[in-house]
C-alpha cells in the first residue's frame, strides 16, 4: 500500500508522482496523462481537491484555481502561448459577408476581488470534507501534534479514546470553547454520528483543525470588512473634503501659508 512520497505508472500510461496516504493520492502531486494533459496540485482521498492547475493539451489552455470532487470549480481559464504555433492570419469560421452590429463590451467591475471571494467561499464550503482525509502531518507541525497529544493524554487517563465531556475539557485546556451546537456539527462532519461514539486522538485533532480554520476565516472576513469600510469611509469623506476645498475651505481667514494657523 503506497504511503508517503512515491511514483505510480498506470496501465493506461498515466503517471502520478507525489504524496500518498493509506494507498490513496493525498497531498501534493503531479499527474501526467498519456494524451499530454498535465495536472499539478492537491489531492484529497484520491481526488483532485483544493488548489491546482490543469493543462489541456488538445486545447492548449490552462485552468488554475480551486478543484472540488475531482472537477474544476473556481479559477482562471486562459490560453497558453505556443511559440511553435502558426500565428498567421486565420480563416474565419463564417464566410457569410453579413456584418454583425456593434455589441457593447461588458466587463466585471472588479474581477480579481470577485474571483478571490469565490475561491474563499469554495474553500469554506469544502473545509469539513477536506479535513476528514488530509493527513494530520500536513495540517500540523511536529511540535503542534506533540502539544495536541499532551492535551489529549491529560484527559484520556491512559486510554486511546475520550468521551464527549473529556473532549470539551481538552478543548478548554487549549483555550478553545465551542458551543454544544458547534461541537455537534464538528463531530458529525468527521463521521461521529452517535453521541456514544468514542473519540480518538485522530478525531480530536481534526476537530481542532476545523475550529482553528473557522476562527481564522472569521478573523480574515472581519479584517477584509474593516478594509472595505475604511476604503468606503475614505472615498466618501475624501470626496466631501475635496468638494469643500479642504477641511477648512480655500478662504480660511485663520490660515497663513507661511506660518500656518494663528
Pairing of β 255-256 and β 15-21? unpaired
Q: Which of 83, 97, 1, 5 is nearest to 43 (CA)?
A: 5
Tell me if 72 is assigned to some domain: yes
Tell me if 165 is assigned to some domain: yes
Q: What confidence score (pLDDT) does residue 96 get?
A: 64
* Backbone φ, ψ for residue 181 (5° rounding): -65, -45
Among candidate residues 201, 216, 231, the one where a domain is terminated = 216
Among candidate residues 53, 79, 105, the one where a domain is terminated = 79
Distances in Å between the alpha carbon of 143 and those of 4, 30, 60, 138? 20, 29, 44, 12
Tell me if 4 is assigned to some domain: yes
Q: Which domain holds residue 170?
A: 135-216
Tell me if 227 is assigned to some domain: no
Q: What confidence score (pLDDT) does residue 239 get?
A: 53
Q: What confidence score (pLDDT) does residue 230 get?
A: 58
54, containing H or E segment: strand 47-56
Query: Quick check: 7 and 20 in contact, CB under 8 A?
Result: no
Residues 74 and 140 in one domain: no
Supply the pTM of this predicted model.
0.60
Q: What confidence score (pLDDT) does residue 247 get?
A: 43
Q: What confidence score (pLDDT) does residue 216 get?
A: 63
Question: Mean pLDDT, 10 residues at a time, over the chain (262 residues)?
Answer: 92 96 93 96 93 93 93 90 64 64 80 82 76 84 92 90 88 85 81 72 88 65 52 55 47 46 44
Q: What is the pLDDT of residues 67-122, one digit of tens each?
A: 999 999 989 999 887 666 566 666 665 566 667 678 888 787 788 888 888 888 78
Cα torsion angle, 60, 65, 67, 73, sign = negative
CATH code of 49's domain: 2.20.110.10
Q: Which of 137, 191, 81, 4 is nearest to 199 (CA)?
A: 191
Tell me if 123 is assigned to some domain: no
Tell me if 110 is assigned to some domain: no
Cα torsion angle, 175, 179, 185, 190, sign = positive
Q: Which of 27, 8, 4, 29 is nearest to 18 (CA)?
A: 29
Residues 1 and 68 in one domain: yes
Distances in Å between the alpha carbon of 184 and those of 96, 103, 149, 188, 213? 64, 54, 22, 6, 17
CATH code of 158's domain: 1.10.238.10
Q: What confidence score (pLDDT) does residue 39 get?
A: 98
Tell me if 178 is assigned to some domain: yes
Q: How far apart are CA 66 and CA 124, in angstroms?
A: 12
Q: How far apart are CA 64 and CA 55, in angstroms?
A: 9
Tally of structural domains, the chain: 2
Among candidate residues 33, 59, 79, the one where a domain is terminated = 79
Q: How far apart are CA 102 and CA 178, in angstroms?
A: 58
Residues 71 and 5 in one domain: yes
Tell me if 98 is assigned to some domain: no
Query: Quick check: 198 and 161 in contact, CB under 8 A?
Result: yes
3-state helix, strand, coil in the chain (%, to 5): 40, 25, 35
Amino acid at each position: 500500500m503506497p504511503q508517503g512520497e512515491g511514483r505510480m505508472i498506470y496501465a493506461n500510461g498515466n503517471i502520478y508522482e507525489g504524496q500518498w496516504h493509506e494507498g490513496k493520492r493525498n497531498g501534493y502531486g503531479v499527474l501526467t496523462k498519456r494524451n499530454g494533459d498535465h495536472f499539478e496540485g492537491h489531492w484529497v482521498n484520491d481526488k483532485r481537491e483544493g488548489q491546482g492547475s490543469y493543462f489541456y493539451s488538445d486545447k492548449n489552455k490552462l485552468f488554475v484555481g480551486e478543484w472540488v470532487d475531482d472537477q474544476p470549480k473556481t479559477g482562471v481559464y486562459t490560453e497558453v502561448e505556443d511559440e511553435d504555433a502558426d500565428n498567421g492570419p486565420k480563416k474565419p469560421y463564417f464566410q457569410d459577408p453579413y456584418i454583425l452590429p456593434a455589441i457593447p463590451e461588458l466587463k466585471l467591475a472588479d474581477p480579481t476581488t470577485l474571483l478571490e471571494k469565490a475561491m474563499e467561499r469554495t474553500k469554506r464550503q469544502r473545509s469539513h470534507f477536506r479535513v476528514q482525509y488530509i493527513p494530520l502531518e500536513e495540517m500540523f507541525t511536529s511540535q503542534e501534534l506533540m502539544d495536541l497529544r499532551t492535551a489529549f493524554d491529560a484527559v484520556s487517563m491512559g486510554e486511546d479514546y475520550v468521551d464527549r465531556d473529556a473532549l470539551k475539557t481538552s478543548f478548554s485546556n487549549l483555550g478553545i470553547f465551542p458551543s454544544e451546537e458547534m461541537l455537534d456539527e464538528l463531530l458529525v462532519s468527521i463521521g461521529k454520528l452517535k453521541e456514544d461514539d468514542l473519540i480518538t486522538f485522530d478525531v480530536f485533532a481534526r476537530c481542532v483543525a476545523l475550529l482553528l480554520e473557522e476562527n481564522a476565516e472569521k478573523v480574515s472576513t472581519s479584517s477584509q470588512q474593516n478594509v472595505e469600510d475604511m476604503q468606503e469611509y475614505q472615498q466618501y469623506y475624501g470626496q466631501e473634503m475635496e468638494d469643500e476645498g479642504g477641511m477648512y475651505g480655500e478662504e480660511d481667514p485663520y490660515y497663513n501659508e507661511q506660518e500656518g494657523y494663528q
